[in-house]
A and B are shown apart, each in its own frame.
Chain A
Amino acid sequence: MRGGQWLDRDAGPVVRPYALTGGRTRPIGETFDLLALVASVDVGYLDNMLLEPEYLEVMRQCRQPKSVADLASDLDLPLGVVRILLSDMRQNGLVTIRQPTRTRLADPQLLKDVANALRKL
């Protein structure tokens, strides 16, 4: 920090991140991976007044499935906070969360595909 002054982001967020989660630091329910895919559930009618703005933003961003890491980055919120928001939303039926497909990590053919694709970068 230059000159000992707290400016902008050096001063920290205006709302402490975990205020969004009511101070909770652990998600509820089954744990999910950093690369799990989140999709908003089409609940038909949404009363915007009843949902937290962060919930609405997650719903909007996850119309196409998006990884938890991508979502945290795009929301500019810490990963831990996003996990708690998502676990709450899952419990309320607003999103589905699917674990990443990685059972084929030991599949040499898949890895050869990855190597070939990377070569073309």
Chain B
Amino acid sequence: MLSASYNQDDFPPSPVSIKILIAGGFGAGKTTLVTSVSEIKPLRTEEELSEPGVLVDTLDGVEQKTTTTVAMDFGRITVRDDLVVYLFGTPGQHRFWFMWDELALGALGAVVLADTRRLADSFPSVDYFEQRSLPFVVAVNCFEGAKRFRPEAVRAALDLNPGVPVVLCDARQRASCRDVLVTLVEYAIRLISDSEVMSSA
């Protein structure tokens, strides 16, 4: 048995880790956004997975389980020595939700990147965060050549709750992505203070 010369108590103080998820359909710009605001590194997972198209929760299909590698975009923003923001960009399809459940645990919130040419690709992400009451903002990535829509139109198309912020962004621009993250954090602060008002009333 190896003897440890120091124990858990000697561990330096842990920085506070803030976790933000970057969701959205394939090609919506998740990787671009994470690259624009943080040091990005690939993160692989190798997981058991049901066949694509088989609902994870049904019992039929369990016998078809297989292993797959999922690559996530993983970014880190060191805010201060004691405060680090982690960004996780994950594939938006239902079949990757096993990853999301872990990522969503303890997350501050999420950015749902939407491409107006394929707005329906954002539905699963929106549903997911609504069901788990995780604060999220919808960021409409303004692709060149794509028709511009007003945020209100996107809000209506996605049937969002009135409070959910919808912002236009350019995932290639650092300042634009930064503003999206700030919008999310401010929204989370608003939700906290609203719930405090509710509980003290």
Contacts and interface: CB of A to CB of B under 8 A. Distances in A.
Decide whether A and B assemble into one complex: yes
Interface of A: 17-18, 25, 33-35, 37, 39, 41-44, 65, 67, 69-70, 72-74, 76-81, 92-94, 96, 98, 100-102, 104-106, 108, 110-115, 117-119, 121
B32 interface: no
B15 interface: yes
Given A73-B41, A73-B74, A114-B83, A101 B14 contact: yes
A115 B178 CA distance: 10
Interface of B: 1-8, 11-12, 14-19, 37, 41-48, 69, 74, 76-77, 79-80, 83, 85-86, 102-103, 105-106, 108, 174, 178, 181-182, 185-186, 188-189, 192-193
A101 B189 contact: no
Nearest to B103: A34
B86 A69 contact: yes
B44 A72 contact: yes
Given A41-B4, A67-B17, A108-B193, A114 B85 contact: yes
Nearest to B12: A65
A113 B85 CA distance: 12
Task: Report which residue of A33, A41, A110 has the largest number of chain B beta carbons within 10 angstroms of its beta carbon.
Answer: A41
B45 A79 contact: yes
Most buried by B among A33, A69, A70, A113: A69
Given A35-B19, A77-B44, A78-B46, A114 B11 contact: no
A61 to B, nearest CB: 13
Contacts of B76: 70
Contact of A79 (B14, B44, B182): B44
Given A34-B103, A118-B77, 11 more contacts: A18-B46, A41-B4, A42-B4, A79-B44, A100-B17, A100-B106, A111-B189, A114-B108, A117-B83, A118-B182, A119-B178
27 contacts: A17-B46, A18-B46, A35-B86, A37-B11, A41-B5, A43-B2, A69-B86, A72-B44, A73-B41, A73-B43, A78-B44, A78-B69, A80-B45, A80-B46, A93-B3, A96-B8, A102-B17, A106-B192, A108-B193, A110-B16, A114-B108, A114-B185, A117-B79, A117-B83, A118-B79, A121-B174, A121-B178
